[in-house]
Structure 1
Amino acid sequence: MKKALTAIAAAAFAFAGLSTTASAENEKFVLISHAPDSDSWWNVIKNAIKVAGDQMGAEVEYRNPPTGDLADMARIVEQAAATNPDGIIVTIADFNVLKGPITDAVDKGIPVITINSGTQEQSEELGALMHVGQPEYDAGFGAGKRAAAAGAKSFVCVNHYITNPASVERCRGFADALGVELGSQMIDSGQDPSEVKNKVSAYLNTNQDVDAVLTLGPNSAHPTLAALRDAGLAGEMMFGTFDLSSEIAEAIKAGEINFAIDQQPYLQGYLPVVILTNYARYSVLPSGHINSGPGFITKDNIAQVEKYAGEYR
């Protein structure tokens, strides 16, 4: 997979060079995510679409529901399609909620690439050109295998966006790798840092047999780390998280977080813009979906990636 992704990425960068020498046609694209304004993880994708837009001579607008409300996101997709852009890039945060607006856009003849949340099968059912993202269950399963190898038997999955089905798949994959039921080991933490910290602390106080923690991104990782530090458990308990931030990178170096699962969000923003631009100009298109992850960042390789955290990683 790594070789295939490298080849596709190299082709996309080659297309970038080709397109900047051709006359720019000022294509207009819209990227619509499910993320609330408070989720800073998406800054990497915002940076990626800006870089790609500048390189391609295309205009790329980022839109999202300010509070993360998926009904609001569905309306944003409808509004974007009504402007007849040259392409739409969209997350499949909830297939049932977004199916109508996305298929309506496809039926209007607007090229669509799905990213991040959702599956390749869902992307195909919606009529999208391709999906660029990380198989979430597989990523969770891979994390669970690492936890199992470390001797973990009981865990808590701190889910800060439980309304997104992909988040549950992450937790489920982790549980399956450990050979246990997910059940109550997944908690709905909410997104307020104080609330996340309090819920994690309460869970650990009630369930003292927990020997592993999985968080689903910086929004839950940062306050969970604070809860573990307060309890004197930081570095004593297996701790894995999805995604990367400067604080997560420091915790990996300190031995407080064992690994971060890297879905390479930069590629999720950059590649669709390059691909849609070349599709609009030359009708060329990669032949399949692109897996941007999962990769695992540990103390052994953190030095290679930490300087790019929050901007390119």
Structure 2
Amino acid sequence: MARIGTGARIAGVLLATVLGASLAGCSSTGGKRAEEARKAAAAGRPAVSTPRWTFAMVTHAGDGDTFWDIVQKGAKEAAAKDNINFVYSHDDQAQQQAQFVQNAIDQKVDGLIVSLAKPEALKDVVGKAVRAGIPVITVNSGSAQSREYGALTHIGQDETIAGEAVGTELTERGRKKAVCVLHEQGNVGHEQRCAGAKKTFGGTLENLYVEGTNMPSVQAAIQAKLQADPSVDAVVTLGAPFAATAVKAGQAAGSKAEVDTFDLNPQVAAGLKDGTLGFAVDQQPYLQGYEAVDLLWLYRYNADVLGGGRPVLTGPQIVDAADAAKLTEYIQRGTR
């Protein structure tokens, strides 16, 4: 995957972030209507006069997962602009997530957004939503199953492509042996990330399964791996909170392995800046939430569908030390 210049990458993010507002505002009066939409969204009032539909988002997020806070922020800001009543529920247990989807069906919501980290567990209930006439958009996880399950489109990064980008980046950095740390067994997206990285990496990559709900255990497992195999020169974590833990594990093990990660948070931005982290893969969660709501609104309003049934990609975007200062600004306002 070719790297993109910092300015171009940041500009692209800003363009995509305002895409929904631009779509809502464009008409024969063009820029004026778009500007009115942006001002309305900033003021927290609807930019449209369509009915106050209810959209439900149901995700596989665990408690305290800051990644999903950013997804929600994007969704809520789009909902405010589009005059949408936005309802959010989550659970990292697939059975409970399926129950939340059923609840949304029972409440006859006007649109449904759902993540498919464990797609088989959600297949039947998502099918019920579609048969009930509820338009569905999948987000973040489950791009391979989205169309099969009847969703209008999928919004997120293709996890295999994201993994391939990591493998290419590791190769360009001269790494020879990497460990891919999977913190949630059964999550198909995580498996795809590591498999993609292994496919394009010029060296050797091994999977390391850890108990993601127990950070001391995660640190101990990574530390033990690095102590047992000093030839490991890269550790890839699949979520921002695990990057700092991997750094601590490396320091305790006396390893010089570079730590790289998927996703961003303030600690990752700081790590990129001070060099304790090599690079991060940003899938732009704000966009996932914002565009999911905005595209459902467009479908309800005008039967519009982006992507032609194929995923609408929000990543991957490789970010490193050169991006750290600007990323910190966006992270502080809760959009990255």
- TM-score greater than 0.5 by the shorter chain: yes
* Structure-1 residue corresponding to 2:278: 258
Shift of 1:47: 1.1
Give the alignment partner of residue 190 of structure 2, picking from 167, 174, 184.
Answer: 167
Separation in 2, partners of 1:270, 1:26:
17
With 148-157 and 87-96 compared, the bigger mean Cα shift is at: 148-157
Give the letter aligned to residue 162 of structure 1: Q
With 192-201 and 222-231 compared, the bigger mean Cα shift is at: 222-231
Separation in 2, partners of 1:148, 1:189:
28
Shift of 1:35: 1.1
- The yes-or-no answer on 1:283 pairing with 2:306 is no
Separation in 2, partners of 1:227, 1:36:
24
CA contact (8 A) 1:193 1:219 kept: no
Shift of 1:231: 3.2
Q: How does 1:237-248 map to 2 (within 5 A)?
A: 237-248=257-268
Q: How does 1:27-176 map to 2 (within 5 A)?
A: 27-65=53-91, 68-119=92-143, 121-176=144-199
Q: How does 1:12-23 map to 2 (within 5 A)?
A: 12-17=20-25, 20-23=46-49
- SS of the counterpart of 2:147? helix
CA contact (8 A) 1:86 1:110 kept: yes
Name stretches of at least 5 consecutive residues in structure 2 with no aligned partner. Answer: 2-8, 26-32, 38-45
Give the alignment partner of residue 178 of structure 1, picking from 194, 201, 207.
Answer: 201
Separation in 2, partners of 1:11, 1:205:
48
CA spacing shift, 1:56–1:124, aligned 2, 3 Å: same
Shift of 1:208: 1.8
Separation in 2, partners of 1:8, 1:202:
42
CA contact (8 A) 2:47 2:83 kept: no
Shift of 1:89: 0.5
- SS of the counterpart of 1:62? strand
CA contact (8 A) 2:48 2:83 kept: no
With 171-180 and 216-225 compared, the bigger mean Cα shift is at: 171-180
Separation in 2, partners of 1:187, 1:32:
26
- SS of the counterpart of 2:180? strand
Aligned identity (percent) is 33
- SS of the counterpart of 1:125? coil
CA spacing shift, 1:286–1:204, aligned 2, 3 Å: same
CA spacing shift, 1:6–1:111, aligned 2, 3 Å: farther
CA contact (8 A) 1:158 1:188 kept: yes
Shift of 1:189: 3.6
Give the letter aligned to residue 101 of structure 1: V
- The yes-or-no answer on 1:205 pairing with 2:227 is yes
The RMSD of aligned alpha carbons is: 2.4
Q: Given the two structures, how large is their TM-score scaled by the length of structure 1?
A: 0.90
- The yes-or-no answer on 1:307 pairing with 2:315 is no
Name stretches of at least 5 consecutive residues in structure 1 with no aligned partner. Answer: none
- SS of the counterpart of 1:23? coil
Shift of 1:21: 4.3
Separation in 1, partners of 2:297, 2:97:
24
CA spacing shift, 1:21–1:238, aligned 2, 3 Å: closer
Separation in 2, partners of 1:130, 1:201:
41
